[in-house]
Amino acid sequence: MDRNVYQIDVKDNPAAETEVDERLLRTVIRFNTLLTAIVMGFLGGAGLFFMTLLSLNRGLPNPGHYMNLLGVFMPGYEVSPTGAWIGLLWGSVTGAICGAVLYRIYARNLRLHVKDFILRNNSGDASYHLIVPIGGSSLGLALGTLTAGSLIVTTNWLVFRGTAEESVHARLLENFLPGYSVSLPGSLIGAIQLFVFVYLSCLLWSWIYNGIISVRHR
C-alpha cells in the first residue's frame, strides 16, 4: 500500500516510528469534524430553543425585547412559540457550522499534537492514556478565529443592510472592545481585540484543564 506520509522529526527518539498516515489523518479529521458539528449543533439548537421559551415564560411585560434582535441575523426568528422552533433550526445550523469550523482549525495542528504526544510518551504503549491534554494554543487559534470572524460577519451584515447607524446595541461592544464601531474598520479593530482576548482565555482554560487531568490521571 502506498503511504503518503508526513515525516515528523523526533531527534530525541530516532528509533520511534513517527510517520502519520495522511489518509488516516484526513479520515480522523473528517470524523471528528462531523461529531463536533453534531454536538455543537445540538447545543446551539437546544440552547436557543430553551432561552426563547424561558424569555417567553418569565412573565415580563415585553418578552424578547432584546432577543428579537437575533431576527436580524436569523430570518424568521422571534420570541414566540413558533419562533422558538425556528430558533431551534437556526441554532442547530449555526452551532453545527461553528463546531465544524472550530474543529477544522483546531486540527491544523494535529500533527504537532502527535509529535508532542510521542515525545511525552517515549516509554511506549505502556503509557497509553485515554485522556490527553488539549492544546490551548490550537484551541485559542480556532475559537479566536471563529469569534473574530463572527464579529466581522455580523457587524458588516448590519452595514450591508444599511442599519449601522441604528445599531445602538451592537455599539455597546465599544465598552469592552475599545475602537470597535459598526463599520468595516471598526469591526476589524474589534475582531483583533476579540481574537487576543479569546486566545488568552483559551490558554487559561487549557492550563486549568490540563493541570487537573495531570493530577487526576497521573
Partner 1 sequence: MNSISRADKALLKIAFCRIDVTAMATATGAVVGLLLFLATAVLLIKGASPGVEVGPHLEMLGIYLPGYTVTWWGALLGAVYGMLLGAAAGAIIAGMWNFTHYLYMTAMVIRASWMRMMVD
Strand partners, 137: none
Query: To the nearest whole angstrom, how small is the minimum distance from the Cβ of residue 99 to partner 1?
Result: 10
Build a one-symbol-per-residue string for 18-57: x at contacts with partner 1 by CB under 8 A, - elsewhere: xxxx--xx--x--xx--xx-xx--xx-------x--xx--
Measured distance CA(41)–CA(49) in Å, rounded: 12
Residue numbers 196-215 binding partner 1 by CB under 8 A? 201, 204-206, 208-209, 212-213
Selection from 98, 79, 80, 89 nearest residue 145 by Cα: 98
Binding status of residue 131 toward partner 1 by CB under 8 A: yes
Q: Which of 3, 108, 153, 160 binds partner 1 (CB under 8 A)?
A: 3
Encoded amino acid at 19, one letter: E
Measured distance CA(153)–CA(157) in Å, rounded: 6
Helix axes 22-56, 81-106, angle to 10 degrees: 150
In 8-47, the DSSP E strands lie at: 19-21
Which residues here bind partner 1, judged by CB under 8 A?
A: 1, 3, 8, 16-21, 24-25, 28, 31-32, 35-36, 38-39, 42-43, 51, 54-55, 58, 60, 66, 110, 113-114, 117-118, 121, 125, 128-132, 134, 169, 172, 175-176, 201, 204-206, 208-209, 212-213, 216-217
